Amino acid sequence: YQRRVHGEKIRRAVQGRMSGQVLSFGDICLFQDDVATLNDACWLGDKVIAFYFEYLTKCRVPSDGTSPLLLLGPATVQLAKLVGDAHTLRSILSALCLSQRMCVILPINNSRAPTHAGGSHWSVLAYHRDRNVFEHYDSMFGSNTEDARAVATVFGPLVSSGPVPSFVAVRNAPQQSNGFDCGIYALMVGEVLANAFLSKVPADLACVNAASTSAKRRISLRL
């Protein structure tokens, strides 16, 4: 009897969760509570960041796997950070062809928990093969440096078979003026970097500011 009751509770919980599904795009499903994090003054959830990077990939990157640009999702980056061993990850992430990419964009979260999502801050790490460097864009400069370095350390041997990539904390990265816009800044910086790489022009991050991040929330809600 207890098993039947427990099973019924799980079934109802799943049905309730599914009834709140807003969209399915690629490998990402967004629910009402995920989309709600796009509202003003909300801390952006990892599934929204995963969706937006997937959206950019589907819309702007060739689907045959030959693109020199790769935007990674938060779950992949977090997995790599927690595993922390490039040798183990080489086989797990082999399908990503990291050693062939010219630019890799990675969302960084400061969570250290291996069993559940969390953390309190987002930033962006970008690898550029032409300069063999990881550049870290943190909207609260210095807050995610330790986590970004950990990700750069584990991805270094995967993206470069030669010299160890250098690490640069970008001091003129756009800075947020509140405690909740880090995820939107990460989305916008990642998009600017991706567009600049594809267009073969320098990245102009002047467009990432308090006004544009608020507008970005509203635009993203309409996607």
The letter for the amino acid at 123 is S
Tens of pLDDT, residues 120-141? 999 999 999 999 999 999 999 9
pLDDT at 117: 60
The larger pLDDT score, comparing residue 31 to residue 5, is at 31
Question: Does the pLDDT at position 1 exceed 50?
Answer: no
Question: Does the pLDDT at position 179 exceed 80?
Answer: yes
pLDDT at 184: 94
The larger pLDDT score, comparing residue 213 to residue 82, is at 82
Question: Does the pLDDT at position 160 exceed 70?
Answer: yes
Specify the pTM: 0.86
The larger pLDDT score, comparing residue 113 to residue 104, is at 104
Task: Yes or no: say if 18 and 29 are a contact pair by the CB < 8 Å rule.
Answer: no
User: b or e along 97-126 (b: 16 or more beta carbons within 10 Å of the residue's beta carbon)?
Assistant: ebeebebbbbbbbbbeeeeeeebebbbbbb
pLDDT at 113: 77
Task: Yes or no: say if 155 and 107 are a contact pair by the CB < 8 Å rule.
Answer: no
What's the average model confidence in pLDDT over 155-180?
Answer: 96
pLDDT at 38: 85
In the chain, % of residues over pLDDT 90:
62
Which of 28-37, 194-203, 213-222 is predicted most confidently? 194-203
Q: What does pLDDT average to over the chain?
A: 87
The larger pLDDT score, comparing residue 8 to residue 24, is at 24
Element (H, E) at 184: helix 182-199
Tens of pLDDT, residues 37-61? 888 888 888 899 999 999 999 888 8
3-class state of residue 120 by DSSP? coil
